[in-house]
Amino acid sequence: MKSKRHNIRSMVRGGSRRPPASYMQHYHQVEATAPLQMRKVAKSKTSAKSVALSSMPPPAPTAAPADSAASMVELPVKDYLALLEKQQQVIRQEPPHAFVVNALEMEGQAGEEAVTFVMHLEVEVLTEMGKWTTVPLLPTTMTLLSATFERNGDRVPGAPGVTAPNGGDGDDDIVYEDGIVGVSGSRFVLFTCVPGVYSVHMEMLVPFTSQRKNSTMVSGLPRATRNMLTFMHPEAGLNVTIQPSLRTTIESSVASTTVRTAFPASTTLNIQWTPSETGVASTPMSSVLSSALGGVRSEGSESDSEPTVPSDSLFVAPEVREERRAVVTVDQNHLLTVTEGVLFCSSSFEYTILHNGVSTFHIDIPSQVRVLAVSGSVAVRKWEVVPAAELEPETDDDADGRGGKAEADDDSNKFVLIVSLRYPKESTFTLRFESEVEMKRRSQVVNVPSFHCRGVVREKGYIGVTVRSNVELSQQHLAGRAITKIDSRESPPAVQSMAASQPILLAYKFLATQYDLQIGVTKHADVAVLVAIIENAEVLITVTEEGKLLYETVCTVRNNSRQYLRMELPDSAEVWTTAVRSAPVKPAEDAQQRLIVPIPKSNDAFMVKVTFLVPDEPIADRGTVRVPLPKFDLPAMVLRATIYVPQLDTLSYQEPDGDMLHVPSYTFHAGSSTYQPSYTPLEDMVMQGPTSNVMYWDSQVRHDSNVAFGGGGGGGGGASAAGIIPMDVTAPKVGTAMRFERLVYLTEEPVLTVAVPYRPAPTGLSKLFGCC
């Protein structure tokens, strides 16, 4: 490749170092009109700003107007230079891409050991002069034989091939090459620092993808705007398939087959060729003989008559090779999953193909089987299910893998699954499909479907049966010498992987598809189980002297399917706040006037908090404080209640009575004695106040000694509203604490009540002798 010498210092953003004379003349004309002080500043910056002026086109010469003073606009030099710099920045904007591939033309020819491709690429480099650009071409998985390229189009000023002045600085010129082809990573690339359109020509070797040397795959192609392929095989009468391709034309001559096609901007091309059904016989014998004899004809024969063979010549007719038939075997793996009313079947067919390629597969399926989806280890072009009566019956050779002749079967109630690939497949191929069989009743005997692959010499496989509901499986009938029951642990990995986490209950192995297997399915009645539970419920009640009961209920809940937690509150209860996981939520009320709180579905325990106020009788000289507890629609493993009664010197509290056990401290825990609860007990969260017996549960709440519970409990007077997310309220705990607990509180039990009697405190002699 020719290269030119060029001084890189003479290029500044695509222009020369020194501005043209027309620029300088125009610049001094503007400078003369500037103020004197601006003129001095501009003169000091002329050498630095002249570079920017050089990149602008010179102004067009115009005739001086009659009144030059009236048509002249005065502009400071710095503003003029700023305008030039702004226009220069617009010109210097980077392109959206460093390069584009305009066209890709491929010329391929099949050889003895590989396929030779000549790649013609048209690449346009968009970056600026002097900036190196890497253009990925082809992957290194191909073998490169040769690579040449040239830059097309007009020469860019300052580009290689154009002699540029060295600017008078005396430096040596620098040699610029148009580029070079090398390797970067896993691809052949073009390195260049000169913009323009390049024509790259690369000769590559691509191996065959099959042992029969009838297919190849070209991968890693660059995405080009226009893509063309010409492929030639030195054998006549071939069927050539190219994927993907559009507008394909095939030309067959005496000694070759040529295919021309256009294909989309794809990175992979699959090329497959097979002999046509007519083969070489489709070529006229006269042409073959004429080509073999080299045009020798008998004397006196017409030009269009059949050639004759001279008596003294030895002619050997071209050998017509007979296409070998594909030998196919298959291993089947089936997993049957029994659910309520449906039997799902996941099937895998592992084909082994020898001597030839196969592009279409036929599988006999029973009429009660509905095919849902089909996939394969290579791209499946299409699949369809047709009645077996519409197809030709199998021959005796085709029915070998079935264990009997095909004529013995009744095709009136059978269907055939036809799967077509994009190109013939050799060696191995895996076909998978999902199907189902509808069950008439939830408890019945099910016939296990058998699938027969047509055109195979041998087929065998395994069957695994599992369940996904509370059904019981049993083997009802097993007939056929080629099928046996095996241990589920003997199932192959293909069946076990389809079962995933479900255990295989029944397993079978068969050596032919002519078998009869029936499985009994028994559906048992469902039993109601616990789907949500309250691990711990703690209720803290603060009793005021005015007779108001302030409840703060905290529950630790586990929930799998419930939507709400329902609570039956005491009469005249006024809800203040509801929160789930420390976030306020909007409560509601059902038809039974129960409070309902939305709860999430979670395997982990979460907290539900409800605060409400219940009015009661004021504390008198003598009486009983009755505290009803809320009732839940979920069973509670542990229920605790802490009641804070007013601490007055004039009152004396007696032994409490009620439906819960009065304890000095909490002792019951859910589960065994070693059970560690997943919650923090509410009593452990409480902190003792420094100067009084006021306690706090939420550390974010500050104690206010002026808190009073009067005037409707603080919730009246328009302070509450429906349909609004409530405030997070934490009530202060004031007074003497009395602790109660109960283990396992069920939903059908009545409302629990605790009674705390009180009477006047003894004074004087009464206190001395212990009487009231």
Does 633 share its domain with 488?
no
pLDDT exceeds cutoff 70 at 551: yes
Q: What is the pLDDT of residue 638?
A: 92
For the stretch 367-400, pLDDT in tens is 999 999 999 988 788 999 999 888 877 665 555 5
For the stretch 425-451, pLDDT in tens is 888 999 999 999 999 888 889 999 999
Q: Interior CA angle at 348 toward 502 and 496, to 5°?
A: 25
Low-confidence winner among 294-303, 347-356, 491-500, 650-659 (lowest mean pLDDT):
294-303
Does 447 share its domain with 495?
yes
For the stretch 455-488, pLDDT in tens is 999 999 999 999 988 888 999 999 988 899 999 9
H runs (alpha helix) in 377-470: none
User: Which letter does DSSP use for residue 527 in this model?
Assistant: -
User: Of 66, 91, 116, at which residue does a domain stop?
Assistant: 91
Does 611 share its domain with 752?
yes
User: Of 62, 91, 120, at which residue does a domain stop?
Assistant: 91
Q: What is the pLDDT of residue 75?
A: 82
How many domains are contained in the chain?
4
Residues 294 and 270 sit within 8 Å (Cβ to Cβ): no
Distances (CA, A) of 124 to 162, 333, 387: 20, 53, 56
pLDDT higher at 59 or 518: 518
Domain contains 290: no
pLDDT exceeds cutoff 90 at 103: yes
Phi, psi of 695 (to 5 degrees): -120, 155
Q: What is the pLDDT of residue 427?
A: 86
Domain contains 591: yes
Q: What is the pLDDT of residue 158?
A: 37
Residues 537 and 642 sit within 8 Å (Cβ to Cβ): no
Q: How many CA atoms lie within 13 A of 158 on its CB side?
A: 19
Does 233 share its domain with 365?
no
Q: Tell me the three state secondary structure of residue 50.
A: helix
User: What is the arithmetic mean of pLDDT over 281-300?
Assistant: 41
User: Of 523, 549, 577, at which residue does a domain stop?
Assistant: 523
For the stretch 739-766, pLDDT in tens is 999 999 998 888 999 998 888 877 655 5
β-bridge pairing 458-467 and 327-338: parallel
Does 543 share its domain with 674?
yes
For residue 502, the domain's CATH number is 2.60.40
Domain contains 553: yes
pLDDT exceeds cutoff 60 at 356: yes
Does 64 share its domain with 105?
no
Domain contains 171: yes
Domain residue limits at 396 = 328-523
Domain contains 295: no
User: What is the arithmetic mean of pLDDT over 615-626?
Assistant: 85
* 227: number of Cβ within 10 Å: 23
Q: What is the pLDDT of residue 430?
A: 94
Dihedral (CA of 676, 680, 683, 689) sign = positive
Q: What is the pLDDT of residue 300?
A: 42
Domain contains 467: yes
Q: What is the pLDDT of residue 298?
A: 40
Does 239 share its domain with 383?
no
Element (H, E) at 36: helix 36-44
d(Cα 440, Cα 15) in Å, to the nearest integer? 86
DSSP string for 570-609? PTT-EEEEEEETTEE---EE-TT--EEEE---EEEEEEEE
Does 397 share its domain with 457?
yes
Q: What is the pLDDT of residue 276?
A: 66
Does 553 share its domain with 514?
no
For the stretch 176-225, pLDDT in tens is 456 788 999 999 999 998 888 999 999 999 999 877 788 888 999 999 99
Does 431 share its domain with 460?
yes
Q: What is the pLDDT of residue 599?
A: 95
Residues 451 and 348 sit within 8 Å (Cβ to Cβ): no
d(Cα 552, Cα 564) in Å, to the nearest integer? 19
pLDDT exceeds cutoff 90 at 554: yes
β-bridge pairing 753-760 and 657-658: antiparallel
Q: Tell me the three state secondary structure of residue 504.
A: coil
Q: What is the pLDDT of residue 532?
A: 93
Distances (CA, A) of 473 to 366, 368, 430, 479: 22, 20, 30, 18
Tokens 């609004």 sit at which residue? 724
Does 366 share its domain with 509?
yes
Phi, psi of 32 (to 5 degrees): -65, -25
Residues 213 and 274 sit within 8 Å (Cβ to Cβ): no
In 3D space, the residue among 318, 342, 344, 346 whose CA is nearest the CA of residue 332 turns out to be: 346
Domain contains 582: yes
In 97-133, which positions are buried (b, 16+ CB within 10 angstroms) versus exposed (e)?
A: eebbbeebbbebebeeebbbbbbebbbbbebebeeeb
Phi, psi of 31 (to 5 degrees): -65, -35
Q: How many CA atoms lie within 13 A of 607 on its CB side?
A: 16
Q: pTM for the complete prediction?
A: 0.51
Domain contains 306: no
Beta strand residue intervals within 111-245, DSSP E: 114-125, 133-139, 143-152, 174-176, 180-184, 187-192, 196-207, 215-219, 226-233, 238-243
Does 202 share its domain with 142?
yes
Q: What is the pLDDT of residue 91?
A: 61
| % of the chain surpassing 70 pLDDT | 69
d(Cα 261, Cα 243) in Å, to the nearest integer? 10
For the stretch 147-189, pLDDT in tens is 998 887 543 333 343 333 344 344 443 334 567 889 999 999 9
d(Cα 452, Cα 589) in Å, to the nearest integer? 62
d(Cα 334, Cα 337) in Å, to the nearest integer? 10
Helix axes 46-54, 21-32, angle to 10 degrees: 120
User: What is the arithmetic mean of pLDDT over 710-731?
Assistant: 58
